[in-house]
Structure 1
Amino acid sequence: MLALTRKIGEQIVIGDNVVLTIVDIKGDSIRVAIEAPKDIKIYRGEIYETIVAANKQSAQSGDLNKLDILKGIRLP
């Protein structure tokens, strides 16, 4: 992990196309602006962890026996 000290207005460049700019600092909170291509997904850490946990749960909790009810369905 890389830890950097930045002041308001200073930037951090990641790769060729992601730029983080320090927008504001109030107490122990920092506002960061992120410039990145639209195809790069950006999540807050706690949201990303929730998504990962939900994906793991949905992948593990499937009861395949319940899918047998679909065998009787006929499409027109």
Structure 2
Amino acid sequence: MPKPIRNSFMRNWWAVEAIPIYCVVGVTVLGCGWYLTRLARGPHVVWTKSNPTPWNEVKQDENVKMMAVNQKFDKSWTRDRL
């Protein structure tokens, strides 16, 4: 790389002001990945043909939501296998 191009690249991409932007974008990407993984493991997603209706296994006293505000549940629903 020629020296003027390299200097302008380093000045723009490695500036101290850009570090918070990189941190925010990194945390956002990690959060999106975690949330998509959590959604993919929910009772309404079918991954195998051995049990085509996993939502029928959810009992009435099981919580499948991330946060239940006014409800009292005895236990939380978990997927036994993918």
Is the TM value for this pair above 0.5? no
More helix by share: 2
TM-score, normalising length: structure 2: 0.31
Q: Name the structure, 1 or 2, with higher relative contact order (CA <8 Å, separation 6+).
A: 2
More strand by share: 1
